[in-house]
Structure formats: C-alpha cells, structure tokens
Chain A
Amino acid sequence: MKNRLRVLRAEREWSQADLAQRLEVSRQSVNAIETGKFDPSLPLAFKLARLFEISIEEIFTDESSGAELEVR
C-alpha cells in the first residue's frame, strides 16, 4: 500500500524517530510503513490520521482500488 507518510513527516520537519515517539512505536516500524513494506493495522492508521489531522485516505492509497473500479 502506498502512502504519503514521508511527505507529511517532512512538512512538519519530523525525523522518523520523532514520528515513532509520537506514535509510541519503534523507528523501524515507521521506516517499514514509509517504505510500504509493512501495512499498519486500522488502529495505527487512525492514530496516524489523528496525528496529522487528516483522513486515512489522505495518507494511504490502495493500489488495487483502481483496478477494482475498472472491473465494476
């Protein structure tokens, strides 16, 4: 799943460690989510959305959603 975490973080001039501290997770977790190698659970996604004060959809993009819409 693609996400805009790196951009959102950069806009606030937060390091990965800063964001990790705010989310109460490890820096490795933030890195894995940012690089799209690890998809967070819904509670963590909501936590991210609350932290950046935007909706989950504005952070994460479901890569398969476009293809599904075409099939419909």
Chain B
Amino acid sequence: MICSSTNQAQRRFVRRMWVAAPLCILFSLAAALAVRHGHVTGVPAYLIAVFSALPILGAIVVTGLYLEEEKDEFQRNLLIQSMLAGIGATLAATEIWGNLENFIKAPHLDPIWVYPMFWVFVLLSYPVVRLRYR
C-alpha cells in the first residue's frame, strides 16, 4: 500500500479505507457526544456502543475484501505480516499500559484508542516488513 506503483486491488482498498476510516472517527465522536450530552442510559446506550463499532467491522471487511481481490500473493503476504505485527504490538502496548495503570497509577487509557493504535502499528510495521525482502 505504501508503494509507488499500485494495482487495482490496492487502489480499491485505499479508496474503501478512505470511507471507512473517517466513518470510524465520526461514529465514535457521535457516540461520545450522544452519551455525554444526551444523558443516554439503558438500552439506547448499548445500541450506541454497538453502532460506533460498525465502521470498525466495515474496515475489517474492507481488509478481507482486499486480501480476497489481491492477486499478488507477495503483496498479500506483506499486509498479513504487517497486521500480525500490528496485533502483537497493540496487545503488548495495552498490556504494558494496563500494568502501569495498576502498578504506578498511570492515567487510564480509554479502550477507544486501541483500534487506531492497531492501524498506526500496522502502518509503522509495513515498511519494516518490506525491508526484509529487499
């Protein structure tokens, strides 16, 4: 994806992600504002919580579609490795932060940041994974 020459599947993936990513932010903000200012409780609060996660599922579907449509197995392999690195780094970072919260009363990390953190780690690991094949 971070590549000078991109194929059709990659262009579609980027285009779809440009829709899914802002929706994730928008839905999360809308949910936070609704709960904070609308004093939503009970079933509507649960519904809003689920509603805000829908674009995240959408982004996962978009990624799945890309892996399905990408004919170049090497490029598929690069993304899968980057995502595995992203999962590992996110799990490690949240584990460390959780321990710091328990041990030295570090400020609480809102779980809402876990998803963007995952993609940041994926983006950071992608060029590193590519370097292995130079």
Instruction: Give 1 or 0 for each of B104-134: 1 = CB within 8 Å of chain A CB.
Output: 0000000000000000000000000010110
Encoded as 1 (CB less than 8 Å from any A CB) or 0, chain B from 71 to 112 comes to: 111110100000000000000000000000000000000000
Task: Tell whether A26 is near chain B: CB-to-CB under 8 Å.
Answer: yes
Give chain A's interface residue range (CB within 8 Å of chain B). 10 to 19
Say yes or no: is B41 at the interface (Cβ < 8 Å to chain A).
no
Could you say which interface size class chain B belongs to? 10 to 19
Query: Could you tell me which residues of chain A, from 35 to 59, have a CB within 8 Å of some CB in chain B?
Result: 35, 37-38, 40-41, 44
> DSSP class of B's interface residues: helix, strand, loop or mixed?
loop
Is A29 in contact with B132, judged by CB distance below 8 angstroms?
Answer: no
Contact present for B7 and A28 (CB under 8 Å) = no
Tell me if A32 is interfacial: C-beta within 8 Å of chain B: yes
